[in-house]
Amino acid sequence: MTLPHPPLRSYGRLKSRPIKPRQAALMDTLLPSLRVPQAPFEPRALMAGAAEAWLEIGFGGGEHLAAQAARRPDVLFIGAEPFQNGVASALRHIEAAKLANVRVHDGDARELLARIPDASLERIFVLFPDPWPKARHHKRRLLQRDTAAELARVLKAGGRLRFASDWANYVDWSLEILSGAPGLTWTAEQASDWRTPPADHVTTRYEEKRLGDCEPVFLDFVKG
């Protein structure tokens, strides 16, 4: 299924400060072996014996991605991130932990989603994406109705999606959009369900900076 974004445009920085020499070397040596195929592919086929396939969109520096992968070596993790400094940082975490169950898409997540078959993933994480807080920039947000429909499409029945943000407007925006995506149901039953970090959440240094305008909110959805 091809997303209606011709041509795709990724907003925000793709690179900032110079990448450290060690991380730059990993971009040349390790990254090519971890990149996902450029053609349509079955996620679990990327790792022999993978019990499940999980996706993190916008993994930042890779802390959450690497920590989750270390916890579940039986799961194939795919991380998508266009910011090159973040990719370089993630490669450092992957190498340091000797993770064999991580694959990387160093580009726009919408391009990646278009190559993933229906009902292929058990979990998706979208954690603290760029909020683009000004109203005129809301069209730049990752979560739009067509993207949410794609996330729902690639999730298996019973699969879970987690969105987190510390910007109140983006939380409201995402709750409305994700609740309207085909087959997705918000699992919260009481306020603590979205105010308290889930038991399996990994807090990153970025999250600890509290750069938003509210406490972190966690929205978990399940695919019916």
What backbone torsions phi and psi does residue 140 show, to the nearest 5 degrees?
A: -85, -10
Of residues 130, 146, 166, 200, which has the active-site annotation? Answer: 130
**What gap in Å lies between CA 143 and CA 134, rounded to an integer?**
15
Tokens at 122, concatenated = 């058990």
Annotated active-site residue 146? The verdict is no
Q: Among residues 124, 130, 153, which one has the least CA distance to residue 206? A: 130
**What gap in Å lies between CA 173 and CA 16, rounded to an integer?**
28
Give yes or no for a contact between 222 and 184, defined as CB atoms under 8 angstroms apart.
yes
Other CB atoms within 10 A of residue 200 CB: 11
Residues with a catalytic annotation lie at 130
